[in-house]
A and B are shown apart, each in its own frame.
Chain A
Amino acid sequence: MDKKAQLKAEVDRLLSLPLTEHVVLVANRGEIAMRIMRACHALGIGFAAIYTASDEHSGHVRLARELGGDNCLYCVSSYHDANELMSVADNFHCTAVHPGYGFFAEDFRFARRVTKRDRPMIFIGPSWKIIRELGDKINTKRLARSLGVPTVPGSDRPIYEEVEAERIAKSLFEFQVEQGVTHPLVLVKASAGGGGMGIEEVYDPDQFRQVFRRVSNYALRQFKDEGVLIEQRVKDFNHLEVQIVSDRSGKHPVHFGTRNCSIQSSGRQKRIEVAPGFVPDTLEYNFDAAKLLTNIVDYSLAMATKVGYDNVGTWEWIVTRTGEPFLMEVNTRIQVENGVSGCIARLPDHKQVNLISEQIRLGLGEPLGYTQAEIATEGVGLEYRIIAEDPQNNFTPWVGRIDQFTWEPAPWLTLLTHVPQKESYEIPTEFDPNLALAIIWGKDLEEAKQRGLRFLDSLKLQGENAQGQELKANIGFLRDNTTNLLRF
């Protein structure tokens, strides 16, 4: 048997193992590591955890000791070093790796390495080919268009020729005028770029040529490919998401509804997420919101089916004021805000759904076990991200020591945090200063909002930094933005 066939046989063997024989490497830190460990524990799956020296007081280390004993932890030099993670996995005889979010979650090479090394493991997430396919923005856009899924108007392949680029830009400006956009904007992006690099806006058609050349030169220097994408810059929109879940067969993906993540910081980081995406029964919209939600769910499922999507993932959409949806991108991982979808979802046994458990269970090869028709929703869920930052000052992160962190527990509240409550905690500087997630359920939007405010009022968060200045957090920002949730 050649090496390729051997590898495949070994992966198939792993996928057919009973859950209890698995050991999962939790290749992440903080809050998500804790959720993964709890989920594994509840499913009866063993796990191994990692931490860095600066993280040794983090809650995830304590929880790992609590649930897995002293022998499930390994101190690594960096969460970013794949070689080290592989050694740790071998050390604990892990059968699978859960990347969480961030770090290696959307790195197809890491996923490929996990499944193609001499001692292969399962990567808990979609297969690496899917991560690669949907991680490429041009590929995703072309896939969407081939299925009739709406995407942002503009080019769907890299443009190299100046003449062609100008023609597209010109038609984009005219198209927006036709659509009634008062200040049309065109976006020029390096097609090989990512993470917001090599993107410029064009306000005026005459400016275009200059910007095109600049971005194209930048792209050549930075990404070794001078192709650019030319798109409409959509302004004034809501940010919606569709949660997709599928088992390893990839044949019958289901969705767990929509989320609205429009409350964001000035740096486009989400601060409040609400499920479902709109509430047409409660609020008035100047477009058919119910139909819109059905549409984006259907579009997302169509794409997932087409690529054979085989784990959890999120389809991100922007919806304009006129109710037009455009597909933005696909996140091939579990997201921070999965909890809000989970808390309103109901399966036949009437329990809330833990999407992380589902991800692990399905990732390790179990079949889905239910159909779309059996998934119901109830009420409204919202999630606050409690962060040490200064919203008044451009959301600058605050670094220091937390002395007090308490809140009033309630049956409708889930609070996820790696910050210890019994002792004071230094916020490590090398990670984002996310302190806690509060997930709140209410039977309708009004109740969820009231409960949310009640929680925020009960929250006590105090501390000081090295200069003796008082802790700054975004509680006020969250409170201010609760009033208008889900209104467009």
Chain B
Amino acid sequence: MIDNNIEKRIQALHERLIYLKDIFAGKHEDSASLLEERLESFQQRMNAAFVFDPYTDMAALEDLFSYVERRLDNTITPMDRVRIVRHPQRICLRDILENVYDNYTEVGGQDEYSLDPSMLIARAVITRHRGKKTYQQSVMVIGQEKGHGAEYRNGGSVKPWGNAKAMHYMLVAETEGIPIHTYVFTPGSYPIEDYPGAAQQIARNLYGMAGLRVPVIAVFSEGGSGGAEAISLADRRLMLSHGYYSVISPEGAAAIEGHIRPGQRATTKLIEHCASNLHITAQDNLEFGYIDRVIQEPPLGARPWHFEFFRLLRQEVIRATDEVIISTRSLPLLRGLALKRHGSPKADLENLYIRWALSGHSKKRLVDLRQKKFLGLSTSAISDNRPWHTKMWAACVDYVTQPWNSFKYDFYRKHQRKIKVIMEEVDNEWESLKNKLWAPLGKVLQKFEVKKPENYGEQLTTLSTWNHDTRIKRWKYLSPRYKIDQAVTCPNSAEYGCMDLWGPDLFGEFAGVCSYCGYHFPMEPEWVVQNVFDDGSVREFNAEIEARNPLNFPNFSERIAKAQEKNGTRSGCKTFEARIDDIRLVVAMLMGTFRGGSVGAAEGYKFMEAANFALKKRFPFLAYVHGTAGMRIQEGTHALIQMPRCTVAVRRYIEAGGLYVVLYDTNSFAGPVASFLGCSPYQFAVRSSNIGFAGPGVIKETTGIDIPPKYHRSTQALSRGHIQGIWDRRQIRTNLKQALRTIGGRNLYYR
């Protein structure tokens, strides 16, 4: 008979062995077989009752395991980390709730009986002491639950409604005034478009979190792309040392890098290559500044029996929450002292008490600090080739214009309106008084008045003046394809019987629209730039900001150079000021022709600057998405961080009373749609557009679902409620004019 305790410990070692083998996927065979051998022999000896002192031997064996684990921990590659965080033995959110918090109640469903079992929400309590007094501090815990591999948890891949649930409870926390702790355990979001839609809901979450008036702490274990961003726009971002945080899963990156067709798989070597080149580890992200602190895990990663680790984690989340609270305090000296005390690793946080509720002023400061934190990220990942005087001007101009603008819009405009209202009232009264007084005289005068006969014939039969002949439209810019004498077949011809179109007609006069069925052929970005805005009104700015290769991703610098040459621009985002019927506006254009319109640090920076510029000038802001394939994966988290960053910029713009309009033209997918584009209340699409989170291939790959044809067409997006309208390409100008006149913004310069 083996002692129960020993048997359990043998079992635990077995699991540790399996875990070790799994995460190294065939590497370090010798270490694994050594451990296996020792364990086997120990077990055999136990079975044969050959062991004299099982507890001592057991401890020795466990020490050996720990020793080997410690040794192998130094060899962990980025891909091993990916396997660690996905392993069923990896700690999950339930473990954290049980071990880090003192009490908790799940509110977002129960096991599989949940709107989305992969998103777990709980009200948790942390108990702290000061002297003899005990304090209960509530937090809202939100995060993805992998459930140690339980199938219904879907590996932590959250459906759109799961993210919506998360947002809902963040708002509940805001109402209750309690901090939010989010735990990121996701390989990525579940990429389906059913309402509220993967991309659109992530965008809503980002937009919402950018303005949450309670502290938010995010802890990353597996930070996969948009799914991670959906709950991680936080004041403090902590990361477990064995986790990863990446713009895309290494498999996804490999599929793109290797031009893998649906059904095929990328080679393991390519996947490993991508995993290491994407710089996805905690240390990398700490260096980039996207993570504030790394929490050290036990060797080979935390598992549910690492109770010491849970204590550390508890310390860290409390510390982070306290620090956020302290940093909102208005007295700088006290703030500094308190932060210093808290930052010390020796600080006994259990026996310190800091109220987690905030005053109105502190809430404002909290939001402002969070927004500025994100706005300031990733500046080193671009090259700013602007001449020094432009940079100087950009740096100083705020000091000059800010007071003036703030006087003009925040003070003068507001009061001007009041004065105007009063003047109108006075005027009305005066008019009616005047009429009363003049009435008797008017009657007399009327009798003497001779009515002049109008010359109708003249007016009705001679040439009238007509200044704005906009009817016969000649496009200023024609697609270069209009020069080719060729017949073009409409893709709908089988369905609608469209006749072949003559290239020069189609790409010239018809603006790329099939004259039989209205199908929109994709056009060049220049088409809109030159045909939508007033003649000669386009003035580009920040053209010198250049996309780079910040991760030194192999062979990528050449590809960027090629795209720059092909498009004649330095990045895939062109920002300019333009006019439509003399209304000035700021436009940020994502060009589908520049590496698929992917957004990297340079594009994000330019977008953000455009929003800032529009904010300062009180101009309407148009995001014209000629096309975007998502965040630029070769820039890794430098690209990914643009999601929260640009969303913050957009939120600041909208809240200042601006009008933010998004117009999708061709294929618009993934990150940008799931953040700074998708959060706009006014999104429109040209008929040629496809809008969504992931393309059909990726959906099939990740979910196994075969999606129906035309799944991402603009009409579908409209019926799902993702966009507000579909425009004909030839009507963009008219519709924009209409939009500028009728929607958005209380603080636009022309209102």
Name A residues whose Cβ lies closer than 8 Å to a Cβ of B.
Answer: 3, 80-83, 109, 112-113, 116-118, 136, 138-139, 142, 145-146, 150-151, 153-158, 168, 171-172, 174-175, 178, 191-192, 224-225, 227, 232
Contact = CB atoms under 8 A, between A and B. Distances in A.
Counting chain A CB atoms within 10 Å of each CB, the highest count among B459, B460, B464, B505 belongs to B460
Contacts of A156: 463-464, 466
Contact of A116 (B464, B500, B504): B504
Given A142-B466, A156-B463, A224-B728, A113 B454 contact: no
Given A158-B471, A175-B457, A191-B471, A113 B463 contact: no
B432 interface: no
9 contacts: A82-B502, A146-B463, A153-B460, A154-B460, A168-B460, A178-B457, A192-B471, A224-B728, A225-B471
A176 to B, nearest CB: 9
Closest 3 CB pairs of A and B: A145-B463, A175-B456, A153-B460
Nearest to A81: B499
Interface size class of B (residues with CB under 8 A): 20 to 34
Contacts of B730: 224
Contacts of B499: 80-83
Given A80-B499, A113-B504, A192-B471, 4 more contacts: A109-B509, A116-B485, A139-B472, A178-B456
A168 B464 CA distance: 12
B320 to A, nearest CB: 56
A117 B484 CA distance: 9
A118 B504 CA distance: 11
A137 B368 CA distance: 60
B483 interface: yes
A89 B162 CA distance: 63
Contacts of A174: 456
Interface of B: 454, 456-457, 459-464, 466, 469, 471-472, 483, 485, 487, 499-500, 502, 504-505, 509, 728, 730-731
Nearest to B500: A83
Contacts of A142: 463, 466
A175 B500 contact: no
A113 B505 CA distance: 8
Contact of B502 (A83, A150, A157): A83
A175 B460 contact: yes
Contact of A113 (B469, B502, B728): B502
A109 B471 contact: no
B504 A224 contact: no
B457 A153 contact: yes
B731 to A, nearest CB: 6
Contacts of B471: 138, 158, 191-192, 225, 227
A155 B469 CA distance: 14
Given A83-B500, A109-B505, A225-B471, A171 B456 contact: yes
A199 to B, nearest CB: 18
A155 B464 contact: yes
A104 B457 CA distance: 38
Nearest to A116: B504
A3 B483 contact: yes
B485 A117 contact: yes
Contacts of A109: 502, 505, 509
Contacts of A191: 471
A145 B454 CA distance: 20
Given A3-B483, A178-B456, A157 B504 contact: no
Contacts of A81: 499-500
A118 B485 contact: yes
A225 B483 CA distance: 28
A3 B482 CA distance: 13
A118 B462 CA distance: 44
Given A109-B509, A136-B472, A83 B487 contact: yes
A190 B228 CA distance: 54
A151 to B, nearest CB: 7
Nearest to B487: A83
Nearest to B460: A153
Nearest to A226: B734
Nearest to B459: A171
A158 B471 CA distance: 9
Contacts of A150: 461
A136 B473 CA distance: 13
Nearest to B483: A3
Nearest to B485: A118
Contact of B464 (A113, A136, A157): A157
A437 to B, nearest CB: 30
B731 A224 contact: yes
B463 to A, nearest CB: 4
